[in-house]
């Protein structure tokens, strides 16, 4: 198996050395070059044709965000960002994910190799899964909401993904009408990003977007995100259900769990449930989506591990759904 080729871009010589050293310890990963900024990185992209790039958000001159926007417009490729652990860093990280970065990792507080130990496992996994990703250009066409008024049919929408799907989340929810079907979301993100993502979405899209709280009524026109922490998000009944936050053990290594959310929707709503799995190939989500479809609900999931399009399934019936058609498909399934 060919190694995953990585280009490291950071204005700090120390950080370039630390990141490169950490990556070289990951099996089947090869650092093909290091660059101190956008100018040097452009030539190295042409020279080495890397599979994945790591990019510092806070670079002088052309910032990492500006260079990321350029990459996603001219040569979309998997990019993993590094950012500071600050409020401003969280804002920049969410913006990077919206632009198409596959993940954001916090920079170590102290420039020591030991500081990378805490993230090395997750970083290695993300590097390898990013290799097969097919990022969309920032300027790609967005779904268009039909001008006809939305008349909800009572279906409940549940959704799960991770940091790499953030751009698609903005596209999907940006195409939702203000009176969208009630939508419950588990999004696996780095520490400190969920609150910023929810606030940014609430400012950007037509429906109301909130962090879920235990006992909240599930209402039309609202998108509920599972809060990060020690509890799973589930719905207790349907119709007229309420949200519950359950402090149980992780499921498939995750808490909150996408699979547990889907399974609760299957039990509560049955054939009135819609499950949308955005993250391809992850351990969390697939089992719950199968349970939801077995209960008669609709499932939308990546057609393959490279994420090129989706498949809409119900029982044994399947049909392809393009990435740009995910939002219109959800609206069609949940409308009269």
Q: Is the pLDDT of residue 305 over 50?
A: no
Give the integer Cα–Cα distance in Å for 253 and 261. 14
Q: What is the DSSP string of 100-162?
A: T-SEEEEPPSS--GGGGHHHHHHHHHHHHHHHT--PPPTTSPPP---SSPP-B-SPEEEEEEE
Q: Percentages helix, strand, coil for the chain, rounded to the nearest 5?
A: 35, 25, 40
Domain covering 156-333, topology: Rossmann fold (3.40.50)
Q: What pLDDT shows up at residue 235?
A: 98
Flag the least confident range among 134-148, 159-173, 174-188, 304-318. 134-148
CATH class of the structural domain 4-131 = alpha beta
Q: Is the pLDDT of residue 159 over 50?
A: yes
Across the range 266-286, mean pLDDT stands at: 91
Q: Where in the chain is the domain with CATH 3.40.50.180?
A: 156-333
Distances (CA, A) of 166 to 130, 188, 241, 322: 14, 10, 27, 17
More confident residue, 309 or 1: 309
Backbone region of residue 245 per phi and psi (left: phi > 0; alpha: psi in -120 to 50; beta: other values): beta
pLDDT, averaged across the chain:
90
Q: Is the pLDDT of residue 261 over 80?
A: yes
Q: Where in the chain is the domain with CATH 3.40.50.2300?
A: 4-131
Flag the least confident range among 132-136, 308-312, 314-318. 132-136
Tell me the per-residue pLDDT of 19-37, one tens digit each, with 9 for 90 and over: 998 898 888 999 999 999 9
Question: Residues 318, 319, 324, 325: is their CA dihedral positive or negative?
Answer: negative
Tell me the per-residue pLDDT of 40-77, one tens digit each, with 9 for 90 and over: 999 999 999 999 999 999 898 899 999 999 999 999 99
Q: Which of 111, 102, 95 is nearest to 57 (CA)?
A: 95
Tell me the per-residue pLDDT of 108-151, one tens digit each, with 9 for 90 and over: 776 666 667 777 778 888 888 887 777 777 654 454 444 568 99
Distances (CA, A) of 220 to 143, 174, 214, 271: 21, 16, 17, 18
What percent of the chain clears pLDDT 90, i.e. is strictly above it?
71
Give the integer Cα–Cα distance in Å for 166 and 28. 27
Q: Which two tokens stand for residue 236?
A: 């207790």
1-37 burial by CB neighbour count: b if 16+ within 10 A, else e? Answer: eeebbbbbbbbeeebbebbbebbeebeebebbbbbbb
DSSP element (H, E) containing 172: helix 166-174
Across the range 258-275, mean pLDDT stands at: 98
Q: Is the pLDDT of residue 176 over 80?
A: yes
């Amino acid at each position: 198996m060919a190694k995953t080729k990585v280009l490291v871009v950071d204005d700090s010589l120390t950080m370039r050395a630390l990141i490169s050293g950490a990556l070289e310890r990951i099996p089947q990963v090869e650092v093909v070059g290091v660059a101190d900024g956008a100018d040097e990185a452009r030539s190295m992209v042409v020279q080495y044709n890397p599979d994945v790039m790591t990019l510092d958000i806070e670079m002088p001159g052309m910032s990492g965000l500006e260079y990321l926007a350029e990459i996603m417009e001219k040569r979309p490729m998997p990019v993993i960002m590094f950012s500071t652990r600050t409020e401003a860093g969280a804002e920049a990280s969410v913006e990077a994910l919206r632009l198409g970065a596959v993940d954001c990792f916090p920079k170590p507080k102290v420039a020591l190799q030991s500081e990378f130990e805490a993230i090395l496992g997750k970083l290695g996994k993300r590097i390898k899964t990013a290799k097969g990703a097919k990022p969309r250009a920032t300027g790609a066409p967005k779904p268009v909401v039909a001008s006809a008024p939305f008349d909800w049919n009572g279906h409940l929408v549940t959704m799960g993904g991770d940091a790499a799907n953030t751009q698609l989340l903005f596209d999907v929810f940006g195409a939702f009408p203000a009176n969208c079907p009630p939508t419950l979301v588990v999004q696996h993100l780095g520490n400190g990003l969920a609150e910023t993502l929810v606030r940014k979405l609430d400012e950007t899209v037509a429906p109301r977007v909130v962090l879920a709280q235990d006992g909240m009524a599930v209402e039309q026109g609202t998108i509920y995100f599972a809060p990060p922490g020690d509890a799973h998000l589930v719905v207790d009944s349907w119709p007229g259900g309420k949200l519950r936050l359950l402090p149980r053990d992780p499921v498939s290594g995750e808490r909150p769990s996408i699979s547990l959310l889907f399974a609760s929707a299957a039990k509560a709503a049955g054939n009135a449930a819609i499950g949308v799995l955005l993250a391809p190939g992850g351990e969390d989500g697939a089992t719950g989506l199968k349970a939801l479809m077995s209960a008669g609900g609709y499932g939308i999931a990546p057609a393959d591990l490279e994420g090129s399009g989706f498949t809409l399934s119900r029982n044994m019936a399947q049909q392809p759904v393009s990435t740009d058609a995910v939002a219109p498909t959800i609206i069609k399934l949940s409308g009269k």
